[in-house]
Structure 1
């Protein structure tokens, strides 16, 4: 029996997607699912939801158990074959609010704040100590399990796990599998979707669509570039930042424009406030989403938790495909976040966490060598990797000066604030986070 532990199971919608997917797979229908969370009510909601799906589409064949709180964490992990991580340390209130409101006092504005920037740095520093605890428990009770990380900041957290723990880890993000299709749909090239081939590599949320061909092997990039530039000139739309990437750097990337607007020094600038309107950038987008989700949760809870006829259709999330490929030894290709060991991407550092094609089979996860990125794309990735590596260093060494370094070198933060302002802002954030960052008090 395959044992799957889901850390952060109070993320009810995401638990439905990942674990509902597993229940849909022939090789996993008799699996044992362990749900772990520190929120009793949300944990119970997720268990009720999954029990309904299990009854309705799987004749109740899967075994579903719940484990609440740190005291039960080790039992949730014991003998697990796969551990899915979807935790958020500190939640929206207070930590996300702090991550957005304190920087605003210094004139630093953000959109998402979960991957890079000062918000991403703080989120990583809150989360790494928890992952350290997870890894210690896993080493004791399930040392051979695979750790499938979905938690952001992806590159920082996955890089930490791979460099500083013995746990077999891969980082997963659905922005890879929807990248090409979404681009072709946005540009009115839907007829090119079926049978198309692509190559995506770089870092999480800034993985570059390096090549894309239709089913007959015709290079689609010339037409993509023409249409993207034309669309940005003629209309306002939700993907203007990434289309500007195509114009200026020649290539499209994986994650959304609201994310990428804050990964560089180009678009959110107090000196040029008109850029927000010009590129249709949704400032404070992540807090807005959180407020909306909280407001709509009771309605959604009725649909998911109190619905005795609830079913599920398999999604594109990678987790069930990875587990199935390892269990059955039937190969499957993913875009995974792994260490750049051996120079999978030759012009990025080996200690960086990169996003590259990986083959998965019964022997595990096998990253594919990509070669060299175009120099401008590697340079863009490096501005983010600098922050990833120094944030990990801060978490591991517990040295506050490395938090300053990471913030100073962050492309958006460093372009907006002076060094003195950055230091004061970091100090205020650490103070505001209180018990969430005790190592740096």
Structure 2
């Protein structure tokens, strides 16, 4: 392609964007991006301009023939796109604050991608992503949509159920595991192989090989495990790890260490140190850095954001799809029989061989019996929540909450749901249009 690839980034004003730009610059020789269009909404205009100017300085300093354009007109950006990536937050950080704080009032975990908060984020986000998909079907039907808008697994499942667009979901958790192991064993990531099985933010690593040698037995004695900046870390119970025979994702702290994480969240909120508040401070600091006209590279401070390495994972996936590499990446894809206890159209998170035709899921060698029930229960919740997001059905939304392991009372859940829906009313027309 003489003019290079066209990439459209929805949510281009995100603080993650400089990491994406860095990836495009580093991989230009084998993934030649000719035009990059950063798209955002009116409320994000100032951030878009700040990040966009930094992106333009980075590209100019690198000397690659890539143009960076900024726009608030999504439809104008899409025609001819080869790849579209999404990194949006419907309702901005204010909505994240609601998702984290309201459940705590009812004695339940407040988190932006799992539990009640995760459901509200899905209810706000899925209709917006499906609208984007309809525009892509019209304007760039052959493009790949790479979604790393959370809750990534649920959003990906909704896209694959309700749209014809070629899409893949991805998360930074698997790449974070590789970076942890690379540092732990002082070897390149290319010499490490991990077997993942489960759902987005609900996966287990069932094998870890370094240079072909399994390190899982010794790692099951390392109770600290891997974590991320946005998930509080507690030591795992060694007996639990030995029984599982697998290393849980750090998001499983909310399930396996429910009481401890709930207490930590309540204490943090009381001190004005909730994750939403912390992220807001980090964002403010990052954007002050981004405004510096002398800054021409991704600042190191960006790695303090919980989603660090999302963009690295996204560039790797685009590169592999474009170059038909056949390498293994951990992605969110339709089940299609990989896990025989879930529906074929359920989105799962497993290793995939990445080809030009798309990711090919690799059947997990081990699925611990002890995790199947939790996977099935959370998937039931997710499927109901997706249906609620599309239809605006409050009964479906409550039914979804009733099936979530982190919801401890349907009575309290109904009150909580009413409050959360009302607070996000401006972003939930599907729930309020009929009533009005």
Same fold flag (TM > 0.5): yes
Structure 2: how far apart are the matches of 1:438 and 1:202? 32
1:420 maps to which of 411, 417, 422:
411
* Aligned twin of 1:364: 358
Question: Hey, what's the Cα distance between the residues in 2 that align with 1:304 and 1:336?
Answer: 31
- The structural deviation recorded for 1:7 is 0.4
Correspondence list, 1:1-400, <5 A = 1-12=4-15, 14-25=16-27, 26-38=29-41, 39-59=44-64, 61-68=65-72, 72-93=73-94, 95-110=95-110, 113-182=111-180, 190=186, 195-215=191-211, 217-228=212-223, 238-241=233-236, 245-254=240-249, 256=250, 259-262=251-254, 264=255, 266-269=256-259, 276=263, 288-312=274-298, 317-341=312-336, 343-370=337-364, 373-400=367-394
Contact 2:22 2:298 in 1 (8 A): yes
Task: For residue 128 of structure 1, give the secondary structure of its aligned residue in structure 2.
Answer: helix
SS of 1:28's equivalent in the other structure is coil
Q: Deviations over 1:128-161 (max 9, x none)?
A: 1101110110000000110100111111100000
The 3 A distance-change label for structure 1 pair 193 and 164 is closer
Q: Aligned partners of 1:241 and 1:382: how far apart in 2?
A: 23
Change (3 A) 1:282 1:338: farther
**Is the 2:244–2:368 contact (alpha carbons within 8 Å) kept by the matching residues of 1?**
no
8 Å Cα contact 2:196/2:364 also seen in 1: no
Tell me: CA distance 1:177–1:74, structure 2 relative to 1, closer, same or farther (3 Å): same
- Structure 1 segments, 4+ long, off by >4 Å, are 188-194, 241-245, 273-277, 280-287, 312-316
SS at match of 2:217: helix
Number of equivalent positions: 411
Distance (Å, rounded) in 2 between the aligned partners of 1:31 and 1:244: 53
Per the normalisation by structure 2, the TM-score is: 0.85
Q: Corresponding residue for 2:304?
A: none
Task: Check 1:67–1:32 CA distance in 2 against 1; reply closer, same or farther (3 A cut).
Answer: same
Q: Which runs of 5+ in 1 are unaligned?
A: 231-236
Q: Hey, what's the Cα distance between the residues in 1 that align with 2:181 and 2:133?
A: 37
Q: Is the 8 A contact 2:182 2:188 kept in 1?
A: yes
Q: CA deviation at 1:424?
A: 1.6
TM-score (norm 1): 0.84
2:97/2:276 contact within 8 Å kept: no
User: Structure 1 residues 245, 49: closer, same or farther in 2, change over 3 A?
Assistant: farther
Structure 2 gaps, min length 5: 226-231, 300-307
Tell me the SS of whatever aligns to 2:345: coil
Q: Match of 1:401, SS?
A: helix
* 1:125 CA drift (Å): 0.3
- Aligned pair in 2 of structure 1 residues 11, 219: CA closer, same or farther (>3 Å)? same
CA distance 1:363–1:183, shift in 2 (3 Å)? closer
Residues 325 and 361 in structure 1, CA contact (< 8 A), matched pair in contact too: yes
Contact 1:346 1:372 in 2 (8 A): no
The alpha-carbon deviation at position 398 of structure 1 amounts to 2.3
- TM-aligned CA distance change 1:213 to 1:27, over 3 Å: closer
**Structure 1 residues 242 and 169, CA gap change in structure 2 (3 angstroms):** farther
Change beyond 3 A, Cα 1:84–1:274: closer
Could you tell me how far apart the structure 1 residues matched to 2:233 and 2:394 are? 37
Distance apart, 1:287 and its partner CA: 6.7
Q: Which moved more, 1:31-40 or 1:361-370?
A: 361-370
RMSD value over aligned CA atoms?
3.0
